[in-house]
Structure 1
Amino acid sequence: MTKYKEIIATLRQKDNALAEHWEEEIDTIIHKLKFLTADAIPSVCIIDQNNNFQINQSSLLQEKVKIAGGTLVDHFQEDIAIFIIIQRDESLYGVIPDFINLQSGTKAIKNNNIYIIQTEQFDIQEDNYLQDVEILAEIIQPKYFIFGHNDTNWIKFDLN
């Protein structure tokens, strides 16, 4: 059983209407992306500012990225299509140029695909699972999803 189905099962015991809403939203995302070809599913690298820019590869985050239409990578490689940085404090903007220089050969940097998640709750609590998936879907598959989290919970870091 996937984690989101476990969360929905638990939520059903407390608030059936909310559980149905979550299930419908996640199922809609999955259905919209069901017929994507392999080349339309980008490789995604998520790094956490608090973890010295190491890759976050938790199984829960892998599930969220997959639902959102991407593939989470577990090591730095040139064909990374999207970098997502989880911001934990304002010092990020002072150190991000060093990270960009280290990863300048990647597809993500060359194509200006760097995103910063600014919400403090991202990937912290199960209660935020749906919001996390929505944020990731907006970033990873922007042609298909607009949930209104841009400029509130995440921004595109523009290199130009």
Structure 2
Amino acid sequence: MTKYKEIIATLKQQDDILAEHWEEEIDTIIHKLKFLTPDAIPSVCIVDQNNFQAIYSEELQEKAKVAGGTLANNLHADVAVLIIIQRDESLYSVIPTFINLQADSKAVANNNIYIIQTHQFNESEENYLQDVEILAEIIQPKYFIFGRNGSDWIKFDLS
């Protein structure tokens, strides 16, 4: 059973309306991406500002998959989307150095660098739907607009 189905099953015992909302939202995201070809599913790497190392877990992989991407477990040249989780304002002083080290990646070449600014990202099950929405807006922007751009995440523009 997927993590989101476990969460929905638990929610149904506590709040049937909220469980129905979550199920509907996630099913809608999955349905919109159902017919994507494999080449339209980008490789995504999520790194933490604290150490600039790739973050990988089965749950985060599931979130990325639901959102239309494939989570890479390390930073490599084929990564098409690079997401940095911001921990504090010092990120903007160190990000140029980090990006220069990734100059050969598809993400940098195609200006696909994003910063997640919400401190709750990937912190608890309660944020699962929020996390998927953030990732969906970033990974598949042609299909999703949840209104989180500018509040929960931003695009880091290299130009």
Measured against the shorter chain, the TM-score band is over 0.9
Whole-angstrom CA distance in 1 between matches of 2:75 and 2:49: 16
Distance in 2 (alpha carbons) for counterparts of 1:61 and 1:134:
13
Partners of 1:32 and 1:151 lie apart in 2 by 23
Partner of 1:87 in structure 2?
Answer: 86
- C-alpha distance in 2 between matches for 1:58 and 1:117: 17
Aligned counterpart, 2:77? 78
Structure 2: distance between partners of 1:76 and 1:137: 20
Query: Aligned pairs, how many?
Result: 159
TM-score scaled by structure 2?
A: 0.99
Q: Distance in 1 between matches of 2:30 and 2:73?
A: 23
Q: Does 1:14 align with 2:1?
A: no
* Counterpart-to-counterpart distance in 2, 1:103 and 1:61: 22
In structure 1, C-alpha distance between the alignment counterparts of 2:77 and 2:38, rounded to whole Å: 18
**Partner residue, 1:154:** 153
2:36 corresponds in structure 1 to 36
Matches within 5 A, 1:6-155: 6-50=6-50, 52-155=51-154
Distance in 2 (CA, whole Å) between partners of 1:98 and 1:112 is 15
1:3-30 per-residue CA deviation (whole Å, 9 max, x = no partner) reads 0001111111110000000000000000
Letter of the structure 1 residue corresponding to residue 128 of structure 2 = Y
Partner amino acid for 2:2? T
In 2, Cα distance between equivalents of 1:129 and 1:74: 20
Name the CA distance, whole Å, in 2 between partners of 1:76 and 1:53: 9
TM-score normalized by the length of structure 1? 0.98
Give the whole-Å Cα distance in 2 for the aligned partners of 1:23 and 1:74.
28
Runs of 5+ consecutive residues of structure 1 not aligned to the other structure: none
User: Structure 2, unaligned stretches of length 5 or more?
Assistant: none
> In structure 2, how many angstroms separate the alpha carbons of the residues matched to 1:141 and 1:15?
30
Tell me the CA shift for residue 79 of structure 1: 1.2
* Structure-1 separation of matches of 2:97 and 2:56: 22
Q: Give the superposed CA RMSD.
A: 0.6
Aligned counterparts of 1:134 and 1:45: Cα–Cα separation in 2: 17
